[in-house]
Amino acid sequence: MKCKLAWTHLDFKPGGYAPCYRFKLYDGHKFGNVPDMPDVNSPEWIRVREQLSNDEWPDECVDCKIQEESGIQSYRQRSEDLLVTEPDYTKTKVEVKDLQLKLNRACNFSCRHCTVGSNSNFIKVGKENPEIARRLWEDHHFDHVIERHEHRIDIPTPEVINHLFENVLPTVERIEFSGGEPFFHVEMYRFLQRMIDDPNIDTSQITLIYNTNMSLTRFKNYDIAEFWKHFKRADITVSMDGTTDVFNYFRQGGNYNQVLDNIHDLLSRTDKIEKLLFACTTTAYHAFYMNKIDYELGLLKRSLEQRYRIEVKYRATFVHWPEGLDVVNLAESTKKQLLKETADTVFTKEFKLRLQGKRTIPNETFKDIVMLQDQLYNRDASVLAPKIFDYVY
Question: Could you read off the pLDDT of 194-250 as tens digits, one per residue?
Answer: 999 999 999 999 999 999 999 999 999 999 999 999 999 999 999 999 999 999 999
**What pLDDT score does 97 carry?**
95
DSSP annotation of 146 reads S
CA distance 95 to 9: 9
Query: Is the pLDDT confidence value at 152 over 80?
Result: no
Distance CA 214, CA 203 (A): 23
Which residue type does 158 have? P
pLDDT of 93 over the 90 cut = yes
- What pLDDT shows up at residue 106? 87
Query: What's residue 95's pLDDT?
Result: 93
Question: Which of 387, 384, 375 minimizes the C-alpha distance to 144?
Answer: 375
**What's the rounded Cα separation, in Å, for the pair 393 and 381?**
10
More confident residue, 57 or 178: 57
Burial of 223 (0-12, 13-18, 19+ CB in 10 A): middle
Residue predicted with more confidence, 121 or 56 = 56
- For the stretch 310-332, pLDDT in tens is 999 999 999 999 999 999 999 99
Q: How confident is the model at residue 151 (pLDDT cuts 50, 70, 90)?
A: low
Percent of the chain scoring above 90 in pLDDT: 85
Q: What is the DSSP letter of 157?
A: P
Residue 183 has pLDDT above 70, yes or no: yes
Cα separation, 326 vs 335, whole angstroms: 12
Separation of alpha carbons 110 and 328, rounded Å? 24
Does position 153 have pLDDT exceeding 70, yes or no? no
**Residue type at position 131:** E
Model confidence at 271: pLDDT above 80: yes
Rounded to an integer, the average pLDDT of 43-57 is 96
pLDDT at 291 over 70: yes
In terms of Cα–Cα distance, which of 228, 348, 212 is closest to 278? Answer: 212
pTM of the predicted model, to two decimals? Answer: 0.88
| Burial class for 240, CB neighbours closer than 10 Å (0-12, 13-18, 19+) | buried
Look at residues 188, 186, 136 and name the one whose alpha carbon lies nearest to residue 12.
188
Q: What is the pLDDT of residues 306-315, one digit of tens each?
A: 999 999 999 9
Q: pLDDT for 334-376, tens place per residue?
A: 999 999 999 999 999 999 999 999 999 999 999 999 999 999 9
CA distances from 255 to 132, 210, 241, 260 (A): 25, 19, 12, 9
d(CA 339, CA 348): 10
Please say if the pLDDT value at position 181 is more than 60: yes
Angstrom distances, CA of residue 215 to CA of 224, 258, 265, 285, 315: 13, 7, 11, 22, 20
Average pLDDT over residues 64-85: 89
pLDDT above 60 (res 117): yes
What was the pLDDT predicted at 355?
96
- Using an 8 Å Cβ cutoff, are 238 and 278 in contact? yes
Query: What residues form DSSP beta bridges with 306?
Result: none
